[in-house]
Structure 1
């Protein structure tokens, strides 16, 4: 099975083609570009490039996996809308996965782990994982200081993700979700042929825009 994996939940614009077998997740091609302001401009060229590098066309893709965040609204929606549109056009299933889970599955090892990425506004997105990479807490969005305290309570021994250094733990790679990490998270559902759940972005914050209230009455 050939799977297209994309993620725009971090400053990295990630696209890859991964071959999923009965017992392995094999990278066929990947493109990662760092630019938090150009997700929309960079993503589809990267998708076409990885298909070419992998020796396939978009019509040869059997499924799509997309990082569902948490991530800033503008960047995250680029990846999710692109994945949804491609899935509809190609008539293939689209599986959304937590982007922090995709980092954790590659960074997991000895002891509990935190995955921490930039949420802007002096905050971070974070989640906690056991040594097998299974999520134990989160995802959340907070200032770094409470996360440091929570890391002590959880007994975390390391951190991964683009903002991992902020929590004062030894840092492990990767900084952002890789195509293989994304597909590895979705692998049980893909292998089982399970229908994907609806795509739901993990924004974690309420939108800045609000509906206007009733007009104030002006007294004479």
Structure 2
């Protein structure tokens, strides 16, 4: 995708959604870190359902440690891999209390050393909590980057580096949210809804999906 097209790609997404936000529910930086850690291989809707009551009284890592691993499991047992996730959340909470005064560090390298926190999670926290121009590449963004031609790469890190290189300054902070929402609701995995895509003419995807109405007309 040419630079002029990339700018227009983001401009249209920004026009449609001027203030993109994560769909994870949270009240502070620590709750965000926990929510993103829990969201691995789970939906934001499922995580929000599990954390709704949890976050009413667990707002700090110290409070999480008071709840304990077994108590946490009772809240998140509807989430996939909840046993290992509970263990990681307790472990990272211990580290935050012990080494960081109970605060979430605004440093990606440090975040990546926490149990259960990989580069994607660290990038989300840095972007959403601290306003860093980071690009968290999940399955949606990896697919969208390659399918549209916006940022091609064989690995999430390769796509991340392309996004970092190609995303223009006005859109760098919001890029992660625009792309994940576009991939989640329009540029879907199995059947992308190309007929209602605002950037269809800029996209390199050749097998554009016709609208259901067009399909029914052709069958008739």
Q: TM-score, normalised by structure 1?
A: 0.29
Whose strand proportion is higher, 1 or 2?
1
Whose helix proportion is higher, 1 or 2?
2
Q: TM-score, normalised by structure 2?
A: 0.29
